[in-house]
Structure 1
Amino acid sequence: MKSNQNLDMGASELNQTLERLTDEIMANHQNQEALVLVGIRTGGAFLAQRLAANITRRSTRAVRVGVLDITLYRDDWTQLSHKPLVGKTELPGSIDDQEVVLVDDVLFTGRTIRAALDALIDYGRPRRIELAVLVDRGGRELPIQPDYVGRAMALPSGQRVNVYLTEMGRPDEVAIELGPPARS
């Protein structure tokens, strides 16, 4: 661990938080036939897969899960100093008239979620879209609010939240690090 890093959530607490989010999502979606979890690439995609696995393990029905790439929907992509890497969006079929839970790792300004909503609507007209985030760090610039929150915290502008997952080649943890926050 770097010296400028404070561990906010270790692997055990992260898993407990995902179990609680699973409980909350299942309580609001008893008809799992219409439920689709869509993770925002990259961290949100892995979290959506974990939530879907939790729901599937607890129920009699496999939950559909997809991945949404929002690169070209971001309002800052033309300002990036490097050429953005565009990933693939993979949805498990039509999202028309489905109940979509959009999943991301960290909610900050709301701009990533705005881009995700624009991208998602281009693929169909869901009956309902909800938002699940592992960490809500506050600091909104747009009127975006999550329906499911793993952990809410207010951080000063000199800190950022990084979510590390085993799927990314790191041990599961949420770390508060020094430095400017990502503008997402």
Structure 2
Amino acid sequence: MSTDLPDIEPLLEQLTTRVAALIDAEGRERCTLVGIHQGGAWLARALQQRLGLDTAPGTLDIAFYRDDLSRAGLPGDIQPSRMPLDIDDRVIILVDDILYTGRTIRAALNEIFDYGRPAAVRLAVLLERSGRQLPIAADIAAAPIDLAPRQRVKLRGPDPLHLVIEEASP
């Protein structure tokens, strides 16, 4: 299966347009962007700049919340999570690069609720592929992507942002 990767700029434009509409609907003062380290954090920063938001986005490193710690161990590049001081009753727009199994989002939700009780969490992703293992769906996805079972798509960056396909190990 040959997969042509979409250009990043139209995807960013689509994501920005749809997140802007979500922020308008929810109320700008109620919304907070939070990106999942690493690709989601890059996208959240890009969205903040494109949308002209004053507040820097929060970031989450979900390493300690993963459900495969006993098998895979901790990764070597753990980053500190940085969240706004008060997320209670705010609308968190959780940003990630690729939605695949749903396990990363589950871990991020667990971490978010350790910081407080948001009014809602909305999920915005750059790409969405089939293969969900958990009942998690994006509120906003810039585009779907179909890949062969052993392929993975990764966002590289941060400057410039670009997509690559990797072959998963057997």
Taking structure 2 as the reference length, the TM-score comes to 0.88
Q: Partner residue of 1:166?
A: 158
RMSD of the TM alignment (CA)?
2.1
What SS is found at the alignment partner of 2:82? Answer: coil
Written as runs of structure 1 = structure 2, the 5 A alignment for 1:7-156 is: 8-9=5-6, 13-30=7-24, 31-56=27-52, 62-80=54-72, 84-156=76-148
Task: Quickly say closer, same or farther: Cα 1:38–1:82, change in 2 above 3 A.
Answer: closer
On the 8 A contact 1:135/1:150 being kept in 2, the answer is: yes
What amino acid maps onto 1:89 in structure 2?
S
Displacement of 1:73:
0.5
Distance between the aligned counterparts of 1:166 and 1:113, measured in 2?
A: 21
TM-score scaled by length of structure 1: 0.82
**Structure 1 83/67 Cα, relative in aligned 2: closer, same or farther at 3 Å?**
closer
Sequence identity of aligned pairs in percent? 40
Gaps of 5+ in 2: none
Shift of 1:132: 0.8
Distance 1:160 1:125, change over 3 A: same
How many equivalent residue pairs? 167
User: What SS does the corresponding residue of 2:142 show, helix, strand or coil?
Assistant: strand
Shift in Å, 1:144? 0.5
2:57 aligned counterpart, secondary structure: strand
**In the aligned structure 1, how far is the partner of 2:56 from the partner of 2:79?**
20
Moved over 4 A (4+): 81-85
Structure 1 stretches of 5 or more lacking a match?
none
Cα-to-partner distance string for 1:118-175 (whole Å, 9 max, x where unaligned): 00011011111010111112100000000111221122212111111234xxx43212
1:178 aligns with 2:167: yes
Give me the whole-angstrom Cα distance separating, in 1, the residues matched to 2:56 and 2:158.
Answer: 22
Secondary structure in 2 aligned to 1:93? coil
